């Protein structure tokens, strides 16, 4: 792979940003594409990006080692961004209009202080392309199963290609080194996933005889760990693919008498439980339905019980700014969801339930490392992904999704928390 440092060692002619190689040949190029070109020039200057065009030409000078945005089809790139903003930016990568020798480095730079990418005087441009999430993707009881199907029912074999043998699709918790930095290797990933699960089960005080409800089964690893502690586990999922594999894994482990998995929406959960756990499921609930979600937790929790959640989070102001925006991630990866803030979780619980947030621990850098390991394995196994029937557009979509998510955690734009909720028994 050619590095940006070696590329920068050779003098490269610059390109006038108003005369893009192929846009210039199109009479009366649309205004939006022209605006997108000028905005890219500004971002490259402010963020020190190396924007490469045909023949090794540069959009503008760039410092050595600068993150690289390599444009293969500038005309298509600018038109997609001019039409759809950040959704167009992602779609242009899917289509192969641009690339980068270090995608995470480029996205990390762009994800740092994202609100400064567009100058304050040009924020009105958002009206040209920002969309609201489509009604048919809102995670109502009628739509939620379809939303889950689009992601989690792609193929168990696909997920097995890049996840570790525990089939755990959430942040791991690694040992730490100097400066509390996570020490993450492929060999250590299964143990790090168990460390995460065990910490959450400890938070919920799951032990022998505990009646445990899990909302969001995944492929069953948490249910297995809880059953091994002697808990009686009921786990709910809306993914048919996960249901089949989780049930099989539980049976093969000899835990079918302690753990059961059901195809069931969280809103239909019944029974009473000493503990409720849910790992990175609230992100799929959607803001309009957070009250329903927390009321369900409150309704099924026995007196003295505990709720332990693992949730991807973002700063509260960023959450509010994005809560009505249709994004590339929503369109292509996780329809119907919204990443909450810790404040939103706490305030929703206070307004709609007797539950109170009594503990919260963050470990976002561990998620960045988890995603790095997944992304590297996914990329290395591209031929196997293709053999499963997934085309190049799909593979580029998932490479961007994993790299974009990793960049979000590396910049602190995203975080992950384990959160404890207990009931205010005084007001019960």
pLDDT digits (tens, 9 = 90+) for 57-99: 999 999 999 999 999 999 999 999 988 889 999 999 999 999 9
Question: Are residue 415 and residue 319 in the same domain, yes or no?
Answer: yes
Residue owning tokens 């903003």: 85
Question: Are residue 387 and residue 415 in the same domain, yes or no?
Answer: yes
Question: Are residue 261 and residue 410 in the same domain, yes or no?
Answer: yes
Question: Are residue 125 and residue 143 in the same domain, yes or no?
Answer: no
Q: What is the predicted pLDDT for the residue at 12?
A: 46
Question: Are residue 82 and residue 154 in the same domain, yes or no?
Answer: no
Q: What is the predicted pLDDT for the residue at 207?
A: 98
**Spatial distance between the Cα atoms of 384 and 380, rounded to a whole number of angstroms:** 9
Question: Are residue 124 and residue 158 in the same domain, yes or no?
Answer: no
Q: Domain total for the chain? A: 2
3-state class of 335 per DSSP?
Answer: coil
Question: Are residue 267 and residue 315 in the same domain, yes or no?
Answer: yes
Mean pLDDT, all residues of the chain = 90
Query: What mean pLDDT is predicted for residues 103-115?
Result: 86
DSSP classification of residue 138: S
Question: Are residue 172 and residue 209 in the same domain, yes or no?
Answer: yes
> Among 80, 112, 129, where does a domain finish?
129
Of all residues in the chain, what percent carry a pLDDT higher than 90? 80
Question: Are residue 179 and residue 59 in the same domain, yes or no?
Answer: no
**Can you give the residue range of the structural domain that contains 271?**
137-427
Specify which residues 212 forms β-bridges with: 233, 275
The dihedrals phi and psi of 320, each to the nearest 5 degrees, come to: -65, -40
User: Residue 55's pLDDT band (boundaries 50, 70, 90)?
Assistant: confident
- Token pair belonging to 20: 């893009």
Extended beta strands in 1-84, E state: 50-52, 68-71
Q: Which residues of 303-340 are buried (b: 16+ CB within 10 A; e: fewer)?
A: eebbbbbbbbbbeeeebeeeeebbbbbbbbbbbbbbbb
SS3 content of the chain, % helix, strand, coil (to 5): 50, 15, 35
The dihedrals phi and psi of 27, each to the nearest 5 degrees, come to: -60, 140
Are 320 and 314 a contacting pair, CB within 8 Å? no
Question: Are residue 397 and residue 256 in the same domain, yes or no?
Answer: yes
Cα Rg, the chain, nearest whole Å: 23
Question: Are residue 169 and residue 108 in the same domain, yes or no?
Answer: no
H helices of 101-213, in order, are 103-111, 126-129, 144-152, 156-162, 189-203
> Among 129, 164, 191, where does a domain finish?
129
> Among 106, 129, 152, where does a domain finish?
129
What's the CATH number where 316 sits? 3.40.50.150
Question: Are residue 216 and residue 351 in the same domain, yes or no?
Answer: yes
Give 119-167 pLDDT, tens digit per residue. 444 444 555 567 788 899 999 999 999 999 999 999 999 999 999 999 9
């Amino acid at each position: 792979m050619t590095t940006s440092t070696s590329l920068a060692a050779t003098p490269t002619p610059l390109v006038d940003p108003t005369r893009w190689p192929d846009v210039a040949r199109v009479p009366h190029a649309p205004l939006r594409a022209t605006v997108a070109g000028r905005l890219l020039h500004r971002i490259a200057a402010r963020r020190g990006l190396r924007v490469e065009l045909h023949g090794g030409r540069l959009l503008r000078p760039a410092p050595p080692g600068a993150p690289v945005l390599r444009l293969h089809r500038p005309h298509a790139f600018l038109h997609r961004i001019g039409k759809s903003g950040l959704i167009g930016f992602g779609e242009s990568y899917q289509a192969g209009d641009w690339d980068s020798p270090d995608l995470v480095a480029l996205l990390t730079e762009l994800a740092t202080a994202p609100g400064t990418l567009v100058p304050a005087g040009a924020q009105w441009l958002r009206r040209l392309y920002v969309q609201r999430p489509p009604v048919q993707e809102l995670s109502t009881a009628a739509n939620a199963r379809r939303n889950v199907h689009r992601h989690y029912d792609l193929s168990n074999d696909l997920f097995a290609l890049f996840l570790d043998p525990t089939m755990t699709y959430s942040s791991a918790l690694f040992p730490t080194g100097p400066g509390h930095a996570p020490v993450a290797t492929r060999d250590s990933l299964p143990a790090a996933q168990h460390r995460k699960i065990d910490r959450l089960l400890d938070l919920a005080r799951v032990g022998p005889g505990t009646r445990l409800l899990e909302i969001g089964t995944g492929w069953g690893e948490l249910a297995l760990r809880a059953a091994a502690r002697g808990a009686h586990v009921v786990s709910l999922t809306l993914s048919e693919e996960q249901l089949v594999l989780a049930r099989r894994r539980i049976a093969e482990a000899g835990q079918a008498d302690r753990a059961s998995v059901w195809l069931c929406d969280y809103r239909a959960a019944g029974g009473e439980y000493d503990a409720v756990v849910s790992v990175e499921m609230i992100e799929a609930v959607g803001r309009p339905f957070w009250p329903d979600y927390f009321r369900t937790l409150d309704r099924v929790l026995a007196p003295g019980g505990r709720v332990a959640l693992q949730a991807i989070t973002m700063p509260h102001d960023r959450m509010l700014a994005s809560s009505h925006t249709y994004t590339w991630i929503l369109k292509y990866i996780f329809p119907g969801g919204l990443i909450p803030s810790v404040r939103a979780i706490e305030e929703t619980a206070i307004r709609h339930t007797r539950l109170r947030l009594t503990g919260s621990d963050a470990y976002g850098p561990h998620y960045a490392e988890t995603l790095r390991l997944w992304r590297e394995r996914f990329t290395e196994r591209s031929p196997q992904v293709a053999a499963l029937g997934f085309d190049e557009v799909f593979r580029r979509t998932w490479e961007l999704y994993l790299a974009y998510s990793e960049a979000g955690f590396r910049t602190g734009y995203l975080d992950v928390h384990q959160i404890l909720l207990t009931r205010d028994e005084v007001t019960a």
